[in-house]
């Protein structure tokens, strides 16, 4: 028979040898999405949002994490579809998509999935797009604002890591939005070069059907590093809404033969311009 004191000592040694483990912690955020919708348009309406996953680990935790991200059918579901609703109960249907042809939903087959690689770091993140899709030709409801709230759930295997809600707002009033913001107009220029330098960026405007609108920059010319540049919106500074995104360019030019003020081998400078959409 083992003496009681020796038995208790062995238990204590086993307990001291048991390793401690820490779980990887994650947060998820999803952008709110605003849709300008015209039920009389013959084209479906697609508006893009994005999700972001941020995770933290201890050095003793695994260097990779397999994850999935699900989305439910919102507050007013109807046979697998989401619905936005106004203050008096009228509704429009919409759906969430991972790709143009793959729905984003709550079952395992409809979730985003991926592997987060920490490498040697203690933090890692990933981001990606999703689409809010509204079918064309829905019965026209009273003009106004329609809303819904969707819950996204981040998992690893069957374990829920975090949840986030995001709003979906559908506007059916006469309104416009810059549905795809412009990027940078980036020039590359050498002093006294013999030809003009050109650069451009695109942006998208979505307005309700038959609504006239105009666009303007706060300035169409300026100077950077002693180089005079000019900007212009193309193909026009005005348009009429169709309920779908209409694409425009901001084209920039720096004329040839300018010396500039750069005194080193390579210089950079930037200036912010403001694009205004009016209707």
Q: Indicate if the alpha-carbon torsion angle 23, 117, 128, 97 is positive or negative.
A: negative
Where do the domains of the chain lie?
22-173, 177-278
The residue-averaged pLDDT of 258-265 equals 95
Q: What is the CATH T-level fold of the domain 177-278, as seen in this structure?
A: Immunoglobulin-like (2.60.40)
- pTM recorded for the entire structure: 0.66
Residue 41 confidence class, pLDDT cut points 50, 70, 90: confident
CATH superfamily of 22-173: Fimbrial-type adhesion domain (2.60.40.1090)
CA distance 92 to 173: 14
- 62 forms beta bridges with none
Q: What percent of the chain has pLDDT over 70?
A: 92
Q: Is the pLDDT of residue 8 over 80?
A: no
- pLDDT at 23 (0 to 100): 82
- Give per-residue pLDDT as tens, 213-233: 999 999 999 999 999 999 999
Run of H or E residues at 5: helix 4-17
At 47, give phi and psi (nearest 5°): -125, 135
- Give per-residue pLDDT as tens, 163-187: 999 999 999 988 888 989 999 999 9
CA distance 169 to 130: 15
The residue-averaged pLDDT of 62-88 equals 95
Q: Indicate if the alpha-carbon torsion angle 209, 212, 218, 220 is positive or negative.
A: positive
CA distance 263 to 260: 9
SS3 (DSSP) at 7: helix
Radius of gyration of the chain (CA): 27
Q: Is the pLDDT of residue 243 over 50?
A: yes
Q: Is the pLDDT of residue 244 over 90?
A: no
Same fold, 22-173 and 177-278: yes
Q: Is the pLDDT of residue 120 over 60?
A: yes
Q: What percent of the chain has pLDDT over 90?
A: 79
């Amino acid at each position: 028979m083992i003496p009681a004191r020796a038995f208790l000592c062995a238990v204590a040694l086993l307990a001291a040898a048991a390793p401690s483990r820490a779980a990887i912690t994650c947060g998820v955020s999803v952008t709110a999405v605003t849709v300008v919708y015209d039920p009389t348009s013959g084209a479906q309406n697609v508006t893009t949002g994005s999700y972001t996953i941020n995770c933290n680990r201890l050095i003793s935790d695994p260097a990779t994490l397999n994850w999935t991200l699900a989305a439910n059918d919102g507050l007013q579901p109807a046979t697998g579809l989401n619905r936005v609703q106004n203050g008096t109960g009228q509704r429009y249907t919409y759906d969430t998509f991972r790709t143009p042809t793959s729905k984003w939903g709550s079952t395992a087959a409809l979730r985003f999935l991926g592997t987060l690689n920490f490498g040697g770091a203690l933090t890692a993140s990933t981001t990606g797009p999703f689409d809010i899709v509204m079918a064309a030709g829905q019965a026209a409801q009273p003009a106004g604002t329609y809303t819904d709230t969707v819950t996204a759930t981040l998992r690893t295997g069957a374990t829920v890591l975090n949840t986030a809600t995001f709003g979906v707002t559908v506007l059916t009033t006469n309104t416009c939005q810059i549905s795809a913001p412009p990027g940078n107009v980036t020039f590359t220029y050498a002093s006294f070069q013999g030809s003009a330098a050109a650069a451009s960026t695109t942006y998208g405007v979505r307005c309700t059907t038959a609504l006239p609108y105009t666009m303007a920059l706060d300035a169409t010319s300026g100077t950077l590093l002693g180089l005079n540049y000019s900007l212009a919106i193309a193909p026009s500074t005005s348009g009429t809404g169709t309920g779908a995104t209409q694409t425009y360019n901001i084209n920039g030019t720096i004329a040839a033969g300018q010396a500039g003020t750069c005194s080193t081998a390579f210089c950079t400078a930037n200036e912010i311009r403001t694009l205004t959409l009016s209707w």
